[in-house]
Amino acid sequence: MSISNGVLMIHGAWHNHHTWDAIVPKLEALGIAATAIDLPGAGANAKLPAAYTQRPLDAAAFATEPSPNAGVTQDQRTEATIAAVRMLNEESGGKAVLIGHSLGGLTISPVAEAIPKELAAVVYLTALLLPPGMVAGEIIGHKLMANSLVPSLFLADPEQVGAMRLDPHSDDPDYRARTRDAFYADLTDAQFEAAVRHLHPDEPAQVAGVPAAISAAKYGSVPRHYIECINDRAITLAAQREMIKLVDTAMANETEVHTLETSHSPFHSDPDGLTDILANIARR
């Protein structure tokens, strides 16, 4: 068996493994094993509220129906990712480079804390990188995130329905424009239509309330990278840089930072640039 580091890819909120459709074959063409999974509550594992399947949308029903994904926990997502890391490591003979996009950062951090010796690196792609004790809501509600467009897309109270709820199938021109500006501002019309078709409406809310539990001894021993996206309007550049600073201080070591001049989804808008960064990390 040839030995090399593989890349395991974790999607962000409302997304699924199709996030990485352009990246997986590019890495494989370079001889790097690559795989992407659907987290519990996402993609093939996501359940849809009944109101979402009825069109025209009943806004009141959609705003109040309890989410069928509300019971999904961060522990379930962490365990699923650990299992995927071990499968990839067995296949490649090396150690996984674990990349998380956006809310996927909440999953790769506890995985690195749990199995640091089984990872070659963790990579945050404009993702939530939280210092010990912080919950996602603290950075989402931070003044540095004041210009984020994502909160304007919520169509239900997360505390009431148990999910952060969007309508990816909305036919409202203004809502679709805000969705595009938040996640896919630099995509063509065709790219946007293809991307939004893969989104699901309900992201389990409770995962955003779990305090980061990372330590310098375990998590801090794993090489850490952050790919900042300059034009992101989902997680602002200022918030990205604040999180890096907070974690570097807490871990007493430095995150290696890479920069892409894209919006929130460089796997669509700059797949070559993103692949180059990941390949270079995997080859170390």
Q: Are 145 and 250 in contact (CB under 8 A)?
A: no
**pLDDT above 80 for 143:** yes
Q: Considering the entire predicted model, what is its pTM?
A: 0.97
What sign does the CA torsion over 96, 101, 104, 105 have?
Answer: positive
**Cross-strand partners of 122:** 98, 224
Query: Which of these, 74, 111, 12, 43, lies nearest to 205 by C-alpha position?
Result: 74
- The tokens of 112 are what? 């690195």
User: Average pLDDT for residues 92-113, to the nearest whole number?
Assistant: 97
Query: Which of these, 224, 230, 218, 217, lies nearest to 248 by C-alpha position?
Result: 224
Phi, psi of 121 (to 5 degrees): -170, 160
User: Average pLDDT for residues 135-159, to the nearest whole number?
Assistant: 95
- Given 3.40.50.1820, 3.90.950.10, 3.30.565.10, 3.30.70.120, which CATH number is that of 7-282? 3.40.50.1820
Residue 55 CB neighbours (<10 A): 9
CA dist 167 → 19, 50, 139, 192 (Å): 18, 13, 23, 15
User: Average pLDDT for residues 49-63, to the nearest whole number?
Assistant: 97
User: Average pLDDT for residues 168-181, to the nearest whole number?
Assistant: 97
**pLDDT above 90 for 2:** no
Q: Are 115 and 32 in contact (CB under 8 A)?
A: no
User: Which residues lie below 8 Å from residue 188, measured CB to CB, with a gap of 6+?
Assistant: none
pLDDT at position 4 is: 80
User: Average pLDDT for residues 228-238, to the nearest whole number?
Assistant: 98
Residue 283 CB neighbours (<10 A): 13
Reduced DSSP (H G I as helix, E B as strand, rest coil) percent helix, strand, coil of the chain, to 5: 45, 15, 40
User: Average pLDDT for residues 235-248, to the nearest whole number?
Assistant: 98
> Residues 116-150, buried b or exposed e (16+ Cβ, 10 A)?
bebbbbbbbbbbbbbbbebbbeebbeeebbeebbb
- Per residue in 85-102, pLDDT (tens digit) is 999 999 999 999 999 999
- Per residue in 256-267, pLDDT (tens digit) is 999 999 999 999
As a three-state string, the secondary structure of 200-267 is CCEEEHHHHHCCCCCCCCCHHHCCEEEEEECCCCCCCHHHHHHHHHHHHHHHCCCCEEEEECCCCCHH
**pLDDT above 70 for 276:** yes
pLDDT at position 1 is: 41
How far is the C-alpha of 179 from the C-alpha of 54, rounded, in Å?
A: 20
Phi, psi of 146 (to 5 degrees): -60, -30
The one-letter amino acid code at 268 reads: H
- Which own/partner contact pairs does 173-179 have at CB distance under 8 Å and 24+ positions apart? 178/149, 178/152, 178/153, 179/153
pLDDT at position 3 is: 62
The average confidence (pLDDT) of the chain is: 97
